[in-house]
Structure 1
Amino acid sequence: MTRHTGLKTCYVLAALLALNACGFHLRGSGAEGLGQNLYLDGIAPNDPFVADLSDALTVAGGKRAGSALQSAGVLRIYRAVHSRRSLVLSRFGRSTEFDLTFRVVFDVRSPKGEVILSRQEIEVKRDYFNDQTIPLAQTAEEGVMRAEMQKEAAEALLRRAAFAIKNSTAPKS
């Protein structure tokens, strides 16, 4: 290793230490430290959104509970739906631009069934252009966008649930 490379390494380490010391956190890490068990209800266990919720919960330090009584809260999913709407038509009458939407309707309850956070909706939207000359690539791109939208909705849902559960268990003054 040359002296120049060693100096670069030192500068990078110093910058990382400075960022860590000032309380810098990457975006999207708001639910980290949840450290709670949540019970998922109202959605099929094999739904792809359940896998995204479980992954986000694990990253946040929590786990899926086996029953409502073993959890800090119950996350009830009423609906998790993708939709696709045409925005622009080409001169040949084919759709070339689409609006993708993923909606999740949910509420958060205590293990005893009391409503902590009333029914809410999270909506994630993306627009994309479909070239029509490479349809297989466009289909793959849409699939990736849908998966990213589900992950974003799962993270937002967990942040809201964690905040609601934390505030419901906080001592009232």
Structure 2
Amino acid sequence: MLKMAIAVVLTLALSSCGFHLRGNLPLSQFPAVYVQSDAHSELAELLNERLSQNSVRLLDSKQADAPTIQLVSDTLERRTLSLFPSGQVAEYELIYKVSYYLIMPGAEPAFNQFELYRDYQDDPNQALAKARELDLLLSELRQQAANRIIRQMARLN
């Protein structure tokens, strides 16, 4: 009985402090959103997927009464961090840059940009495995970028 009482008290304490599980964010203030991007943008596809998961209807064209996310660019840069004694690159820093406009109805477009960083160790003896690892890191960076844009929208009133 004591364990049950402790569980109930902890549950009430968590719910009263405003704690929410990560994942779906409250985007009820945006019933529909238009995402404008280059054709075949992987970041736009992930963003559309995240919006759909949050019960936001995706529009096929820009509408005056609906918010627009205009993805300007998403680029990946590599910077050398260290070298092997032979002169080959041993470690890179990956820099994923995203810039976008958040256009709310009746407001000026808000330009946002951010950078995400990851370290990547290269090994020329395992080129195929390292290429796959780089693809996975880039996919993870895109997912983080899409989540960050969604969080930015969720903060708006």
Which of 63, 72, 77 is 1:78 aligned to?
A: 72
Match of 2:126 in 1: 134
Is 2:7 the counterpart of 1:22?
no
Where in structure 1 do 4 or more consecutive aligned residues deviate above 4 Å? 14-21
Change (3 A) 1:163 1:154: same
Structure 1 residue 52: Cα displacement = 0.9
Q: Aligned runs of 1:45-56 on 2, under 5 Å?
A: 45-56=39-50
CA-to-aligned-CA distance 1:9-40 (integer Å, 9 cap, x gap): xx8xx96995587234334x3x6121421111
When structure 1 is superposed on structure 2, of 98-107 and 31-40 the one drifting more is 31-40
Quick one: distance in 2 between partners of 1:15 and 1:134? Answer: 50
Quick one: distance in 1 between partners of 2:122 and 2:11? Answer: 41
Report the AA paired with residue 57 of structure 2.
K
Q: 1:75 is paired with a residue of what secondary structure? A: strand
Unmatched 5+ stretches in structure 1:
1-10, 167-173
- Check conservation: 1:39, 1:71, Cα contact below 8 A: no
Quick one: distance in 1 between partners of 2:115 and 2:97? Answer: 5
Q: 1:44 is paired with a residue of what secondary structure? A: coil
Which of 16, 27, 34 is 1:39 aligned to?
A: 34
RMSD: 2.5
- Check conservation: 1:68, 1:111, Cα contact below 8 A: no
Change (3 A) 1:70 1:15: farther
Unmatched 5+ stretches in structure 2:
none
Normalised to the residue count of structure 1, the TM-score between the two structures is 0.74
Of all paired residues, the percent bearing the same amino acid is 23
Match of 2:136 in 1: 144
- Check conservation: 1:32, 1:59, Cα contact below 8 A: no
Q: 1:144 is paired with a residue of what secondary structure? A: helix
- Check conservation: 1:39, 1:65, Cα contact below 8 A: yes
Normalised to the residue count of structure 2, the TM-score between the two structures is 0.80
Count of matched residue positions in the alignment of Structure 1 and Structure 2: 148
Report the AA paired with residue 122 of structure 1.
F
Quick one: distance in 1 between partners of 2:104 and 2:113? Answer: 19
